[in-house]
Copies of this chain bind each other. A is one copy, B any other.
Amino acid sequence: MKTFFECIPCLIQQSLSAVRLVTGDERIHEQVLREILQSASKMDLCQPPAAMAQVIHRRIRKLCENDDPYRASKLRFNRLALDLLPDFQHRVEKSPDPWDAAVRLAIAGNIMDLGVKGGVGEAEIREVLDHSLQEPLHGSPAEFADAAGRARSILYLTDNAGEIVFDRLLIEHMPHQEVTVAVRGSPVINDATLEDAEQAGLFNLVTVIDNGSDAPGTIIHDCKEAFQRRFADADLVIAKGQGNYETLTDVSGNIYFLLRVKCPIIARDIGCPVGRMVLQPSRKK
């Protein structure tokens, strides 16, 4: 997906929220703001917004001299999700359609995102997870079950820390010996890395790899070769979150997107309202 004009002020607002979460130093806030305005004035709008976000967050990490400024937030999200997990695991097992419930919770977990909004509280996370079991879903869990059942190799692209715990819950309902989970190559915002996959307990369940990239999405040519091979060989790719949606909608492959819609541009692109849970196969095969 290209960057739309209205993505630019939004990216600038997000950068400001991001740098404020990372440091209280107003001189750094101003420097980040000015640099981002400067680079946005020259940006290639054919690239997805996540490509710009990658550049922005590299610069924030550099200026704050902190390789992983969201580390504490990620740990907090993982712990919260692990605390909530037993209750939701129980509800999935007791559900008349456990697959449907697990899909919904994996999508609802996408609320744990520090990229789009400045922050999200525990109460909101619990409420979103609770409501997800009943609220409207754009897509068909049954067709998605068929696609997963037919695939001999599944590549599952995660999005955020915390959320990854609910990805595990869904993966437990898949033929999980055939699943490879891929996380980001290094820290960017609160996106999940190998450390988060370990905390979520995925290492005992499936093969976990990192994609070698620090983009908050999956920019294929920016990922390491081993990841690119896995991507090309997978029968089914499951891509979580807006960052992966933006960066993979124009890529060929048997891809299912699982996300919560967080902005009007994605809402327009998918054809549903902001806030809606989405389970959508790629239109580009």
A residues touching B (Cβ–Cβ < 8 Å)? 5-6, 8-10, 12-13, 16, 29-30, 33-35, 37-38, 40-42, 45
Contacts and interface: CB of A to CB of B under 8 A. Distances in A.
A33 B40 CA distance: 9
B33 A42 contact: no
Copies of this chain, tallied across the complex: 2
Given A38-B38, A41-B38, A41-B41, A33 B8 contact: yes
Contacts of A8: 12, 16, 33, 37
A208 B279 CA distance: 61
A35 B37 CA distance: 10
What is the predominant secondary structure among interface residues of chain A facing chain B?
helix
A4 B255 CA distance: 42
Nearest to A15: B9
Contacts of A41: 34-35, 37-38, 41
A37 B34 contact: no
B13 A30 contact: no
Contacts of A45: 30
Contacts of A40: 37
B5 A9 contact: no
A5 B36 CA distance: 12
Given A34-B41, A38-B41, 10 more contacts: A5-B30, A6-B13, A8-B33, A9-B9, A9-B12, A9-B13, A37-B37, A37-B38, A38-B38, A41-B41
A248 B30 CA distance: 25
20 contacts: A5-B29, A5-B30, A6-B13, A8-B16, A8-B33, A9-B9, A9-B10, A9-B12, A9-B13, A9-B16, A12-B12, A34-B41, A34-B42, A35-B41, A37-B38, A37-B40, A37-B41, A38-B38, A38-B41, A41-B41
Contacts of A6: 13, 16
A45 B16 CA distance: 15
Contacts of A12: 8-9, 12
A84 to B, nearest CB: 32
A251 B6 CA distance: 35
Contact of A5 (B5, B10, B16): B16
A33 B37 CA distance: 10
Contacts of A16: 5-6, 8-9
